[in-house]
Amino acid sequence: MATKETGRISRVAGPVVTAEGISPRMYDVVLVGELKLMGEVIKLVGKKTVIQVYEDTSGIRPGEEVVDTGAPLQVELGPGLLSSVYDGVQRPLPVLRENQGDFVSRGITAPGLDRKKKWEFTPLVKKGDEIGRGAILGEVPEGNIVHRVLAPSDAKGKVKNISSGNFTVEDVVGQLDSGYELRLMQRWPVRQARPYVEKLMPDIPLVTGQRVLDLLFPLAKGGTAAIPGGFGTGKTVTSQQLSKWSDAQIVIYVGCGERGNEMTEVLTTFPELEDPKTGKPLMGRTVLIANTSNMPVAAREASVYTGITVAEYYRDMGYDVSLMADSTSRWAEAMREISSRLEEMPGEEGYPAYLAARLSEFYERCGRVKVFSGGIGSISVIGAVSPSGGDFSEPVTQNTLRIVKVFWALDSKLRERRHFPAINWLTSYSLYSPILEDWYRKNVAEDWNQVRLWAMETLQKESELQEIVQLVGSDALPEEQRLTLDVARMIREFFLQQSAYHAVDTYSPLKRQYEYMSAIKRFSEHAKKAISLEVPLERISTLPCRADLGKLKFEETIDADLKKVTAEMDKQFASLGG
């Protein structure tokens, strides 16, 4: 780390402070004034340094000291991240509360990682081994996973010694021949993406067990999705279901500029959730980052970067990480505010002209990659957008939609009708379906995609027919079209609706999703044939197998039931005389 330099303040104007006597690099972190407020260098003019301070600057006066830390905004990476609750610049909120009470006062710092806690370290390299960037030095059990201790990017050479035992994050666990000391902890600048060997195609789905997502609008591991974050659409439940059930091992939730009382809901409900795979608390593989709207704006701007850097660190261990950024609109708002304080020329709606670039830079940090430690890891990002006044044409939403490949349209109308998850099947989309097709063909079923397309088509037809029905009533439609309406209804009520609170229904494996939709499709084909033989629709829709299809999703024996009902269905249709 560079040496620390000290200078003096020459001007204070709100959060923008000018200093003299230091020569930092752009975006280096400086500590301002006697309170040591954290700030970031945002402009260098002549001998003057312009600093954006993260906290309120009241009482700071010219002449006070400014210390250049010689490094940009960094996070601490090491064991102890999981189950932590941080603010936007990685200060642990529970520790802050313990140290200084219920309010976050100024100039206080607490290290991101607990300095006292000891971790049981088992080396995986030995004396004489040649190590390089990202090598796995050893393992530490952390929360619900194994934490792989990675060599920092500047650690290269032969291992001189390394020991097992219990260590704090700062203890030296080994040395290289060069004298380089190895520790459990490392630091990384948040605005810089952590490197990887190469990016891979996102051709494996992030299996969520949520039928509407997996079958109709799949997200790939390493993919990006956006959800509109209007309140009351079930955003919280959806993100909790994803955290619980998706096959990502690590979950990171960034609450960026959200309401304090809403953040409280997340902070109180998350620790109560159980990880269904291990039975342990879900927090054991979760990191929460909370920066409410009244916490310093610069920290809000940083929070998203803090989150993605932590995500990258676990990705580098070879894990699949899912990151929820809630909400990217508040993040953009923070950019707008800082930009206007810097008196930059505004772009659309006062947002800075670099809004689109920042957003795409951020989303580009996710993906499925080959990592230096040898394996493959991924970061999937789900970004909530909360367009003001529900106007989707505003710049943040538009720029986001241009980048992300999946849009899960949470819909308050569906919520009002108690259709959960309230994801609108007509306005949502996923561009990953074609890339993932191969995977589904190999791992689930040969005709996965046909079934998917059939379901989409039926739903689309339904919406067209609904328009007619509203004008003339459904009785005026021919039998075949009424059948389409009935089948679409089955898809909606049986398949798309899924209860997050029901023990069986809350998670649906891919194979079961496929079997279930296939059974509905089979019903539809049988029925079509029957109608062509002039069997009245009433007789078809009152067949016991139709009702059975709806009920079986709540049964423990659902997989066997599906087979039974399908066999029954064939018999019942045969008995119709078709």
Partner 1 sequence: MAKEYHTINQIAGPLVFVEKTEPIGFGELVQITLPDGSTKRGQVLDTSDEVVVVQVFEGTGGIDRASGVKFLGETVKMPVAKDMLGRILNGSGDPLDNGPPIIPEKRLEIIGAAINPWARDNPQEFIQTGISSIDGMNTLVRGQKLPIFSGAGLPHNDIALQIARQAKVLGGKEEFAVVFAAMGITSEEAQYFMKDFERTGALKRAVVFLNLADDPAIERLLTPRLALTTAEYLAFDLGMHVLVILTDITNYSEALRQIGAAREEVPARRGYPGYMYTDLASMYERAGRIKDKKGSITQFPILSMPGDDITHPIPDLTGYITEGQIVASRDLHRKGIFPPIAVERSLSRLMGQGIGPGRTREDHRAVSDQLYAGYAEGRDLRGLVAIVGKEALSDRDRKFLDFADAFEDRFVRQGKDEDRTIEQTLELGWELLSMLPLDSLTKIDRKFIEKYHPTVKKK
Q: Cβ neighbours of residue 191 under 8 Å, at least 6 residues apart? A: 27, 72, 73, 305
Distance of closest approach, residue 98 Cβ to partner 1, in angstroms: 9
CA 383 to chain CA centroid, Å, is 7
Query: Token digits for 11?
Result: 């001007």
Stretch that binds partner 1, among 36-44, 156-164, 344-352, 435-443 (CB under 8 A): 344-352
Compute the distance between CA of residue 17 and CA of residue 7 in angstroms, rounded to an integer: 12
106-165 residues in contact with partner 1 (CB under 8 A) are 106
Number of residues that bind partner 1 (CB under 8 A): 62
Of the candidate residues 389, 538, 556, 575, the single one contacting partner 1 (CB under 8 A): 389
Cα–Cα dist 506/514, whole Å = 16
Q: Does 232 bind partner 1 (CB under 8 A)?
A: yes
Contacting residue, 130, 349, 438, 570, with partner 1 by CB under 8 A: 349
Q: 295 or 304: whose CB is closer to partner 1?
A: 295
Q: Considering only the stretches 92-100, 316-324, 422-430, 520-528, report the one whose residues sit in contact with partner 1 under the rule CB under 8 A.
A: 92-100
Among 144, 339, 397, 497, binds partner 1 (CB under 8 A): 339
Instruction: Quote the least distance from Cβ 249 to partner 1, whole Å.
Output: 25
* CB of 262 vs partner 1, minimal distance in Å: 8
Q: Does 259 bind partner 1 (CB under 8 A)?
A: yes
Which of residues 14 and 276 has its CB atom nearest to partner 1 in the complex? 14
Residue span binding partner 1 (CB under 8 A) among the ranges 133-141, 241-249, 259-267, 308-316? 259-267
Rounded Cα distance, 547 and 556, in Å: 17
Among left, alpha and beta (phi > 0; psi -120 to 50; other), residue 121 is beta
Site pattern 6..35 for partner 1 (x: CB under 8 A): ----xxxxx---x-----------------
Whether 456 and 216 have beta carbons less than 8 Å apart is answered as yes
**What is the rounded end-to-end Cα distance, in angstroms, of the chain?**
81
Burial of 532 (0-12, 13-18, 19+ CB in 10 A): exposed
Least separation in angstroms between residue 266's CB and partner 1 is 9
Q: How far apart are CA 351 and CA 339, in angstroms?
A: 8
- Does 475 contact partner 1 by CB under 8 A? no
For partner 1, the binding residues in 477-536 under the rule CB under 8 A are none
> What SS3 state is found at 483?
helix
Residues 426-465: x/- map of binding to partner 1 (CB under 8 A)? ----------------------------------------
User: Per the structure block, which two tokens stand in for 498?
Assistant: 């899924």
The span of 258-266, 355-363, 422-430, 465-473 binding partner 1 (CB under 8 A) equals 258-266
Minimum CB distance to partner 1 smaller for 216 or for 325: 325
380 near 223, Cβ under 8 Å?
yes
What are the b/e assignments for 48-63, b being 16+ CB within 10 Å?
Answer: bbbbbbbbebeebeee
Work out which of 56, 76, 348, 555 binds partner 1, going by CB under 8 A: 56
272 makes contact with partner 1 (CB under 8 A): no
Of 350-379, which residues contact partner 1 (CB under 8 A)?
350
Contacts 24+ apart (CB under 8 A), 41-50: 42/342, 43/342, 47/20, 48/10, 48/18, 48/19, 48/20, 49/7, 49/18, 49/19, 49/20, 49/22, 49/23, 49/24, 50/16, 50/17, 50/18
Q: At what angle do helices 448-472 and 433-443 cross, to 10 degrees?
A: 120
* Closest to 254 in 3D by CA, of 392, 116, 89: 89
Q: CA-to-CA distance for 309 and 332, rounded, in angstroms?
A: 18
Binding range to partner 1, per CB under 8 A, among 91-99, 122-130, 161-169, 203-211: 91-99
- Residue 89 interacts with partner 1 (CB under 8 A): yes or no: no
Please identify, among the stretches 121-129, 171-179, 339-347, 434-442, the one whose residues bind partner 1 according to the rule CB under 8 A: 339-347
Nearest 5°: the CA angle 76, 78, 83 is 95
Between residue 308 and residue 337, which ones bind partner 1 under the rule CB under 8 A? 330, 333, 336-337
Residues lying near partner 1 in the complex (CB under 8 A) are found at 10-14, 18, 56-64, 85, 87, 93-94, 96-97, 101-106, 231-232, 255, 257, 259-265, 267-268, 290, 292-295, 297, 330, 333, 336-337, 339-341, 343-344, 346, 349-350, 386, 388-389, 391
